[in-house]
Structure 1
């Protein structure tokens, strides 16, 4: 797995989502490495690891991330997971609760079948099996931005998506569709921040709301005027929210979801 480590301080691990890679976190690496040792890695089948076939189980992706962290000597860490990476992050927090200090679940949810997505996962699977992945990758990446193809990051998003193999693509859809954490959310022990763009078409409000309501120690941040890739659309705001949660310990006092 390709991996980058930048900065000093508490370890902060970023896990990317479907059709993405570690370079998706460029603005977070730049903005947060003055405060943390930022670690980002490519999942099997993605980014610099497209020669590998991506996993067909979320739990296997989680094991791959933990194995990589073991290999580089990271025993405890803050964890940020985006989209499918947020599912992986939930699985890591459940598998290794003593290792995850604080957890950020961003643009994600506990329902792997993605209710309310711009199209059902099974529809996406059937399309790519029939027609290949080129068109599917284009409309999927376009859906992640408010401005669609006009967003400055669409081209770089497509550059990451295009090398992903058909098998890795299909495996990821299966991994997500077969996975759920709904019944296990109360087992997550790490203080958690849920981050969601209010125009996200991949993970509708039901998804972050379920996380917020069912993880015991949880804060919620809704980013206005953002779609699925809020960390690229409003990186300064995104980074500030993450930094405040990890450093200033928001949620220790003040308004809570039960107030």
Structure 2
């Protein structure tokens, strides 16, 4: 379990797959309160054929530390790790908040992004009335209840309850400071006006039943991308674990289309 020490933080990561492969490395970025194991299915599929990297973001999973207050801060952590691993050009695959990190990197360092994949992610958060009420109530309810409400509604109807409970427990183990600070960072994230600057071919994959970041918001973003492919699957907000095989298949086709 390799780790990289940063200022006031330690990043835990996995770096697998053949170094001699000519395929551009994939870098998987998980979402808010999640961890790198969201990508287990994709790692198992791609690692035999190409270099694949994933990490627990600062304060998440087996990484430690706080201090990241913005999406830019998390993007800096990712680039620091990739510099340490001597990875220059890569394909970021970001889920939810991880997709915000991917877009931030693509805008700041377009020369490093070969292609990009955004899973259940958007360029600007817009809130429904219900979401706005939940956000307003977040400072008034116990922390674990706030986390549970967010994770519960992230899954499409009918997803196994035991599995949802396990994800709620893992999310609630994320330090409160990290959870609430990065919740604010996602609310403040807005690069929608800059999306036309992203020239890298981009795959936008979304769950039809996503109520956290509804499909309509993703489609609004998709129209601004110069070179985008859109795929909508029968899932909620947690596509990597709700429909892992289907997501992997969509990723595979998109990546192979550039070979």
TM-score range, shorter chain: 0.7 to 0.9
Q: 1:169 deviation in Å? A: 1.3
Contact 1:117 1:204 in 2 (8 A): no
Q: Give the match for residue 111 of structure 2.
A: 98
Cα RMSD (Å):
2.0
Is 1:228 the equivalent of 2:237?
yes
Contact 1:153 1:232 in 2 (8 A): no
Q: Give the match for residue 74 of structure 2.
A: 61
Contact 1:142 1:148 in 2 (8 A): no
Q: Give the match for residue 182 of structure 1.
A: 192
Alpha carbons of structure 1 residues 55 and 7: separation in structure 2 relative to 1, 3 Å: same
Q: Give the match for residue 253 of structure 1.
A: none
Distance in 2, matches of 1:118 and 1:36, equals 42
Q: Give the match for residue 254 of structure 1.
A: none
Alpha carbons of structure 1 residues 149 and 131: separation in structure 2 relative to 1, 3 Å: farther
Equivalent residue for 2:176, pick from 166, 172, 176: 166
Q: Give the match for residue 128 of structure 2.
A: 116
Q: TM-score by structure 1 length?
A: 0.88
Q: TM-score by structure 2 length?
A: 0.88
After superposition, give the CA deviation of every residue in 1:141-198 in whole Å (9 maximum; x if it has no partner): 1112114673453244224202212211111121111110111001112110000010
Contact 2:207 2:215 in 1 (8 A): no
Contact 1:13 1:77 in 2 (8 A): yes
Unmatched 5+ residue regions in structure 1?
A: 251-259
Matched residue count: 245
Alpha carbons of structure 1 residues 137 and 72: separation in structure 2 relative to 1, 3 Å: same
Distance in 2, matches of 1:34 and 1:143, equals 34
Q: Give the match for residue 47 of structure 2.
A: 33
Moved over 4 A (4+): none
